[in-house]
Amino acid sequence: MIILKTARELKLMRAAGRISQRALRLAGEAVEPGVTTKEIDDIVRKYIEGQGAIPSFLGYGGFPASACISVNNVVVHGIPSEKCVLKQGDIVSIDVGAFIDGFHGDNAWTFPCGDITKDAQRLLKTTEEALFKGIEAAVAGARVGDIGHAVQTYAELRSYSVVRDYVGHGVGAKLHEDPSVPNYGAPGRGARLLPGMAIAIEPMVNMGSHEVKVLSDKWTAVTKDGSLSAHFEHTLAITPEGPVILTLPD
């Protein structure tokens, strides 16, 4: 069931979005050679809890950390670890959520660790741009398929593939709500976008095949062919005036 939010509820979601965005920004600033993903996770948890909020991911479905930190060929749900030490040239996807006053904010970004290759730079640039193509399509009266089609078309025209196994979603009092928001699909299909809806659009784009596999920890999803993967995400509200991103800086 799709839950429409009131203006007051969207204001509360904006507050949650600010916290999750600031935590993500701090995490990104910590990405540098020699830093462990556990250290970055500690930064995220300390900031979110310091704001009186709760890390959305901590304990969610048994997830053991406050942020998903996915390096290089890890697509999503990488578990932070003291053993995972970042090195020059890595790309680091960080997914952060914060829960406060009954609502969640959810966002992700992929950060370069020092100097990265031109191929990796192009992957990050394309995935970020694909996110904003999806956001542009998220207008009242359109359909979920219009978002996925915009993302997929933009990425595939640049010779990348879009992950099918993981998708965007509604956001609100629960971290994952209806509707599902795939990063692929046909225009004019799927749920209609209505004012008051809040959704997370989150392209996961691979340099190689779209196929992924989950490792034995039952969380970490990696590209089957070992190719690099990038992940960008914003939470936004559907309004009569157009999409409003809830996970932006002040």
Smallest CA-to-CA distance from 105 within 188, 15, 37 is with 15
CATH, range 7-245: 3.90.230.10
DSSP code, position 143: B
Contacts of 39 (CB under 8 A, 6+ apart): 30
What confidence tier does 75 reach under pLDDT thresholds 50, 70, 90? very high
C-alpha 70, offset from chain centre: 11
From CA 85, how far away is CA 103, in angstroms rounded? 33
Q: What is the average pLDDT value for the chain, to the nearest integer?
A: 98
Whether residue 145 contacts residue 186, with contact meaning beta carbons closer than 8 Å, is answered with: yes
- Given this model, what pLDDT does residue 250 score? 72
The structure's pTM equals 0.97
The kind and range of the H/E element at 90 are: none
> What is the arrangement of strands in the sheet containing 229-231, beginning at the earlier edge strand?
161-162, 204-206, 229-231
C-alpha 180, offset from chain centre: 14
DSSP code, position 5: P
- Given this model, what pLDDT does residue 249 score? 82
What average pLDDT does this structure show over 83-94?
98
- pLDDT tens column, 204-243: 999 999 999 999 999 999 999 999 999 999 999 999 999 9
- pLDDT tens column, 109-135: 999 999 999 999 999 999 999 999 999
- pLDDT tens column, 130-156: 999 999 999 999 999 999 999 999 999
Q: Over pLDDT 90: what percentage of the chain?
A: 99
All structural domains of the chain with their residue ranges: 7-245
- Given this model, what pLDDT does residue 145 score? 98
Q: Give the C-alpha distances (Å, rounded to integers) separating 97 from 41, 134, 187.
A: 12, 20, 29
- Given this model, what pLDDT does residue 184 score? 98
